[in-house]
Amino acid sequence: MSVARVTTITSRSSQSFEDAVRHGIERSNETLRNVSGAWVKEHQVLVADGAISEWQVTLEVTFVLDD
């Protein structure tokens, strides 16, 4: 039997939502062991001078706890 935990992270990208998600997962893997999935909880954009300057996502990252 396994037990998992969920943690919330926020990630930004100057390119796209997809890039923000990818960087968030990659960074999570550097700190957390056994990352098994993520749910994109929120999407936001930051605007500067009337144009999108950054895409931001809030992720719920699931990781399995060690035995």
How would you class 54 by CB atoms within 10 Å of its CB: exposed for 0-12, middle for 13-18, buried for 19 or more?
middle
**pTM exceeds cut of 0.75:** yes
Identify whether the C-beta of residue 4 lies closer than 8 Å to the C-beta of residue 61. Answer: no
Q: pLDDT tens digits, the chain, 67 residues: what are they? A: 889 999 999 999 999 999 999 999 999 999 999 999 999 999 999 999 999 999 999 999 999 998 8
- Edge-to-edge strands, sheet with 35-48: 4-13, 51-64, 35-48
Structural domains of the chain sorted by starting position, each given as residue range(s) with its CATH number in brackets: 4-64 (3.30.1660.10)
Location of structure tokens 């950054």 = 54
